[in-house]
Amino acid sequence: MTFTPVTHPLLPTTAAPGQLSLVETQKALHLVDQLLAKRFCIFRNPIAHSMSPNIVQHRLQPSGPPALLVSYGRLETDQVDADVRSTLAHPDFGGVSVTIPLKRDIMSPLDELTPEAKAIGAVNTATPFTKAGGHRGLLGDNTDWIGTRNVVKAHLPQSLNEVNSCLVIGARGARAVIYALHALGAGRSTCSNALGRARKNSCTRSRTLPLSCSTRST
């Protein structure tokens, strides 16, 4: 067990007189330039209806970092343009949530990908990290498959010991879905979509994922 010399607003009393909370400590460090403010955002198009900024800001309060240290905004774009690259390169960049239509294009300015992002062939988050030698880099990850895996696993009948084959209806997000099904043991996943373009994309996915994937049109 690790003890830290901070208190928390939800505690009935402070552990010691004058003890600071984590938020107060971060504010103090920020005032003496020891802790830089971080900016997080979401890239997508369209973006007006996205609830991500509100959800994140709500989760940051009251126990998380103070608002003056963390901001979460929106950047509406359908391409990795100068604004995107400028946001990623800025010293206060803390991370980004990436969704349609940039999950594949955003990979180009990143320095490294997690094994999951490489296998899926798409990225939904990018965060800065420190490379060997102390230089700053950008790491791309894909967490979509984790949500899919957890939901499917939670709703599987208890009598079902393993997943052998699956049907994926729709092509959007199918890369991560197929990867999640593969993680659950599925040896074959069939993607079904009425659009010819979706059928073509689904066939391509089978060459980037570690499993066999066939398609069916509806």
Give CA–CA dist 90/39, Å, rounded.
9
Crossing angle of helices 174-183 and 144-155, rounded to 10°: 50
Active site (annotated) includes residue 103:
yes
Q: Before 101, cis peptide (omega within 30)?
A: yes
Q: Is 51 left (phi over 0), alpha (psi -120 to 50) or beta?
A: alpha
Active site (annotated) includes residue 153:
no
Residue in 78, 83, 144, 153 annotated catalytic: 144
Residue length, the chain?
A: 218
Tokens of residue 131, six digits: 């490379």
Residue in 78, 81, 83, 103 annotated catalytic: 103
**Residues labelled as active-site residues:** 103, 144
